[in-house]
Structure 1
């Protein structure tokens, strides 16, 4: 009888150990990107533009998504992360939007090798990049568009709050992408505005 019980006990011990080890396994990290969301029917253009530098608040300048819990509280989502540094995500997304909005392939990210020859350079200072799950993504950014040939510049501010109708961090990333589309449109409008003498 004792010989029959011993294998059963061994199986139970091994099964329990396996369950404990499985429970100790780290959760899998999920990675998110921002995406271009604009389209246009504007005529094709040969102008060139360099996007950057882009700065973001120190509180969100990290791999983890930072979500707002209340007026004075945020939380770092250790397993929900940006696929690349946030300032690079913003720069790339704005550049891709401007390719569509200005109908030119000559949009680069500063400090790219061809950015020195660009007709325009736009720098972006993001002052708010708030993520509230199930509620909204908020963007507040000051941007300066500078024409290289004569140094003429325009400064603008884009403030927008994009609603998030469903829970989940993919929904937040999509809302931030829509906010960056609004920023990109404001920059494109400034590029296409008549030049003042």
Structure 2
């Protein structure tokens, strides 16, 4: 007769229950931003653009998708996550979108390798990119464009909205559309800056040579008289 110890029986039951819960647990869906109709450009002699730094708000660095509520609060979705992180997705999508719209392979994400010379540089700050079941997708950002010499040529604040039907997949699609619209406006602003001829630097003027000032007699101090020989006229009498 086999005797089952109570501790062994309890352990067997716990293992069975945990196995059932694992079998019943659904995998968490992973999402990525969509690049839309963007295609890889074929030109290798297009404009050279340094894309970045691209900075995003801290709340966009979470792994879970955030849901904007009607009262403006944000709630993390427990049944949906970003596949590789939203910040990383933004970097890659902006690079791909701009390369496609500028038709150039010569785009590099910051920081660039030493010696890289760009026709233009895009500095982008994204302060908001989210949506909710009943809230539209909203993108708020600021860009700054620099020319070859690092001079600021353009700066703009932008706010874009995109409606959706509510499900998470539709929300991610709407957010992807917002980034595509942002890239389209950026590409239009970059083209004249990247195509402009470099302005020659003005010749540097040599500093004037300081001339020696004539010495002021009054500032030279008291004049010491020069000793001169004294002539004495004497007469010699003869008797």
The structure having more radius of gyration, on CA atoms, is 2
Which residue, 21, 24, 48 being the options, matches 1:23? 21
Query: Is 2:54–2:124's contact at 8 Å kept on the other side of the alignment?
Result: yes
SS state at 2:116 partner: helix
What per-residue deviation string (whole Å, max 9, x for no partner) do you get for residues 110-148 of structure 1? 124379322222111111112113542110110111113
CA distance in 2, matches of 1:133, 1:115: 47
Structure 1 residues without counterparts, runs of 5 or longer: 1-13
Q: Aligned pair count?
A: 185
CA distance in 1, matches of 2:104, 2:60: 31
**Distance change (3 Å), C-alpha of 1:114 and 1:70:** farther
Matches within 5 A, 1:1-197: 18=16, 21-23=19-21, 26-38=25-37, 46-113=46-113, 116-133=116-133, 135-165=135-165, 167-193=166-192
CA distance in 2, matches of 1:18, 1:93: 45
C-alpha deviation, 1:173, in angstroms: 1.4
Query: Is 2:70–2:135's contact at 8 Å kept on the other side of the alignment?
Result: no
CA distance in 1, matches of 2:66, 2:46: 39
What's the C-alpha RMSD, in Å, of the aligned pairs?
3.4
Higher share of residues assigned strand:
1
4+ residue stretches of structure 1 with deviation over 3 A? 14-21, 24-27, 112-116, 193-197
TM-score (norm 1): 0.78
Structure 2 residues without counterparts, runs of 5 or longer: 1-11, 200-239
Higher share of residues assigned helix:
1
Query: Is 2:95–2:107's contact at 8 Å kept on the other side of the alignment?
Result: yes
Query: Is 1:130–1:139's contact at 8 Å kept on the other side of the alignment?
Result: yes
